[in-house]
């Protein structure tokens, strides 16, 4: 079974995890830029982080024949700081041009504040001007429904953005329908406590269908599992799905979305 | 009759998932008992998270289908205006403004 994990944060994981990915058949991954668990003090920290994403991690992954891609952007959590955010936005183009960068992400909203919306709108504008793919972070828990709706309103109002080039991530049962109805791709994230389980992810497949869905681990520094996609593969097997239909969800779908960036090719 | 959207029969679903969900049900019961045993149980039950949890439990017993979405909606912020600032705020899992409106 070949699996692509389209959303994982390997800067927070051990090198052993790369071996586990390779042994499990996950040979292609994409890592969005996000919040490290603390607010950074200046733009220099983002230079270092974007360098880590575009130089260090691809090299670390390559030792295990894992192909590492990334997304570059200003995360919603730190976007509350407008001055820092605009400094970070000013350095994005030099990293977006690097050979393993797939687009702008993960950007979006965290608590649905005015500053978060301002910085998100500026990154949507940048994506439209550069014709970049967009990976969207939707808020957590009680803020998800409201934030997902605000995000979709902003995206729909930008004529340079086409829904098929946008993946709205961390979707759950109460947001999937609206995301699909608006023509966007959607991601399901497998977190033991705060998002979905393998069983709920397969329930969503059964209810909403497999078109335009990408399932990911979003494995990071918090409670998460870099092999969560494989556990969901197993859940599909438990329910009697064919290997071909499983491969469509975990390989064909993410390849289909990510291949819209000409830099992307599978390992 | 609508077309089944799950490959498994009801019997297979019970065979596969009953035990793990029985365990989850007991975890919830134990969580509620733990709240009852707290010295400040009455105050704790006024907390918006406990109130939201209690409403969600009621939704579990709703008729066929849509329980997961209904519970997700019951925990969600139903407002539409952006907040002024996110400084110092984090997600709690339930909306402090919930409880007065339907889903």
ipTM of the complex: 0.94
Q: Counting Cβ atoms within 10 Å, is residue A255 exposed (0-12), middle (13-18) or buried (19+)?
A: middle
Is B82–A150 a contact, with Cβ atoms under 8 angstroms apart? yes
pLDDT in tens, B90-102: 999 999 987 644 3
> With contact defined as beta carbons under 8 Å apart, do A220 and A32 qualify?
no
Q: What is the dihedral of CA B25, B28, B30, B35, to 10 degrees?
A: -160
> With contact defined as beta carbons under 8 Å apart, do A105 and A113 qualify?
no
Position B101 scores a pLDDT of 40
Please report the number of interchain residue pairs, chain A to chain B, with beta-carbon separation below 8 angstroms.
Answer: 81
Q: What is the dihedral of CA A103, A105, A109, A110, to 10 degrees?
A: 180
Position B103 scores a pLDDT of 31
When the candidates are 3.40.630.10, 3.20.20.140, 3.10.20.30, 3.10.129.10, the CATH number that belongs to A3-258 is 3.20.20.140
> What is the average pLDDT across B59-79?
92
Position B64 scores a pLDDT of 78
Report pTM: 0.96
**Domain limits of chain A?**
3-258
- Taking only residues 183 to 242 of chain A, the set having a beta carbon closer than 8 angstroms to any beta carbon of chain B reads 194, 199-200, 203, 206-207, 238-241
Low-confidence ranges of chain A (pLDDT < 70): none
Please, which residues have CB within 8 angstroms of residue A256's CB and are 6 or more apart in sequence?
Answer: none
pLDDT in tens, A16-69: 999 999 999 999 999 999 999 999 999 999 999 999 999 999 999 999 999 999
Of A142, A240, A241, the CB nearest to B76: A142
Is A143–B91 a contact, with Cβ atoms under 8 angstroms apart? yes
Backbone angles phi, psi at A235, to 5 degrees: -65, -40
Position A250 scores a pLDDT of 98
Instruction: From residue B48, give the alpha-carbon distance in Å to each of A30, A262, B45, B96.
Output: 38, 49, 8, 6
Instruction: From residue B60, give the alpha-carbon distance in Å to each of A232, B10, B54, B56.
Output: 25, 18, 10, 7
The alpha-carbon gap from B91 to the nearest alpha carbon of chain A, in Å, equals 6
Position B65 scores a pLDDT of 82
Give A241's contacts in chain B (Cβ within 8 Å).
7
pLDDT in tens, B2-56: 567 898 999 999 999 999 999 999 999 999 999 999 999 999 999 999 999 999 9
Give A199's contacts in chain B (Cβ within 8 Å).
17
Give A203's contacts in chain B (Cβ within 8 Å).
6, 68
**What secondary structure, in 3-state letters, does B69-82 show?**
HHHHHHCCCCCCCC
Instruction: From residue A156, give the alpha-carbon distance in Å to each of A110, A129, A166, A182.
Output: 19, 15, 11, 9
């Amino acid at each position: 079974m070949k699996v692509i994990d389209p959303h994982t944060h390997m800067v927070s994981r051990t090198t052993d995890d790369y071996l586990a990915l390779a042994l499990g058949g996950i040979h292609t991954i994409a890592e969005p830029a996000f919040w490290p668990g603390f607010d950074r003090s200046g733009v220099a920290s983002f230079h270092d982080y974007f360098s880590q994403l575009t130089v260090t991690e691809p090299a670390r992954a390559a030792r295990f024949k894992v192909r590492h891609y990334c997304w570059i952007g200003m995360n919603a959590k730190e976007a509350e700081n407008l001055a820092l955010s605009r400094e970070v936005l000013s350095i994005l183009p030099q990293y977006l041009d690097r050979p393993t960068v797939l687009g702008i992400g993960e950007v979006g909203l965290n608590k649905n504040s005015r500053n978060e919306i301002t910085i998100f709108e500026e990154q949507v504008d940048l994506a439209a001007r550069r014709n970049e793919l967009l990976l969207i972070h939707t808020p957590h828990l009680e803020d998800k429904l409201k934030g997902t709706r605000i995000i979709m309103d902003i995206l729909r109002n930008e004529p340079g953005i086409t829904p098929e080039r946008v993946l709205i991530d961390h979707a759950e049962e109460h947001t999937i329908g609206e995301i699909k109805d608006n023509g966007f791709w959607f991601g399901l994230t497998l977190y033991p406590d705060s998002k979905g389980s393998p069983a709920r992810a397969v329930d969503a497949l059964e209810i909403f269908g497999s078109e335009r869905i990408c399932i990911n681990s979003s494995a990071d520094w918090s409670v998460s599992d870099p092999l969560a996609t494989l556990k969901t593969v197993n859940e599909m097997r438990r329910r009697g799905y064919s290997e071909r239909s499983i491969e469509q969800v975990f390989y064909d779908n993410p390849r289909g979305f990510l291949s819209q960036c000409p830099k992307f090719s599978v390992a | 009759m609508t077309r089944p959207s799950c490959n498994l029969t009801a019997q297979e679903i019970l065979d596969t998932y009953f035990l793990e969900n029985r365990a989850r049900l007991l975890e919830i019961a134990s969580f509620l008992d733990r709240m009852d045993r707290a010295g400040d149980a009455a105050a704790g039950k006024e907390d918006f998270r406990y109130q939201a949890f209690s409403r969600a439990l009621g939704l579990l017993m709703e008729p066929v289908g849509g329980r997961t979405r209904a519970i997700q909606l019951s925990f969600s912020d139903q407002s539409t205006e952006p907040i002024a600032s996110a400084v110092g705020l984090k997600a709690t899992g339930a909306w402090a403004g919930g409880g007065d409106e339907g889903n």
